[in-house]
């Protein structure tokens, strides 16, 4: 296989990783996996912006590289919005949070006997 095929397969593999990460239960509690994948996405987007797939550059299809880069950037944004939604839905609701806060404050402020 030539380098063009490897680059396209790595972009496809990156898309599979993006989709597969959110299939893992409690993926948002594993920040090293999430931010590692985001770093990999960013690195791939920079690579595609700077060099791209050599076969597309030679054929004058630079737009294909830009579209692949745009898809990778879209995955970065999509992953971040998924993380925000998952953390909001997993958190405790406001009444419970307020009740816990009051209990902790009562313990702290309570005079010692």
Task: List pLDDT tens digits, range 15-41.
Answer: 999 999 989 888 888 889 999 999 999
Asked if residue 113 has pLDDT above 60, the reply is: no
**More confident site: 42 or 108:** 42
Q: The tokens of 103 are what?
A: 């209990």
pTM here?
Answer: 0.73
Domain range holding 46? 3-109
- Max mean pLDDT among 10-14, 24-28, 53-57 falls in 10-14
**Segment 75-96 mean pLDDT:** 84
**Segment 97-109 mean pLDDT:** 82
Work out the pLDDT band at 104, boundaries 50, 70, 90: confident
Q: Residue with structure tokens 């309570």? A: 110
Q: What is the number of domains present in the chain?
A: 1
**Segment 65-92 mean pLDDT:** 88
Q: The tokens of 102 are what?
A: 């009051």
Q: CA quadruple 14, 45, 55, 61: dihedral positive or negative?
A: positive
Separation CA 8–CA 45 (nearest Å): 13
Q: Which helix (H) or strand (E) holds 27?
A: none
Q: How many C-beta atoms lie closer than 10 Å to residue 41's C-beta?
A: 23
- What is the pLDDT at residue 111? 63
Work out the pLDDT band at 112, boundaries 50, 70, 90: low
């Amino acid at each position: 296989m030539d380098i063009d095929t490897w680059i396209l397969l790595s972009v496809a593999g990156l898309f599979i990783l993006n989709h597969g990460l959110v299939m893992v239960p409690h993926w948002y509690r594993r920040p090293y996996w999430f931010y590692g994948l985001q770093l990999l996405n960013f690195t791939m987007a920079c690579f595609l912006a700077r060099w791209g797939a050599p076969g597309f550059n030679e054929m004058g299809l630079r737009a294909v590289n830009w579209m692949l880069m745009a898809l990778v950037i879209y995955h970065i944004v999509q992953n971040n919005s998924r993380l925000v939604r998952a953390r909001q839905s997993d958190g405790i609701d406001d009444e419970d949070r307020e009740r816990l806060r009051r209990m902790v404050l009562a313990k702290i402020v309570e005079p010692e006997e």
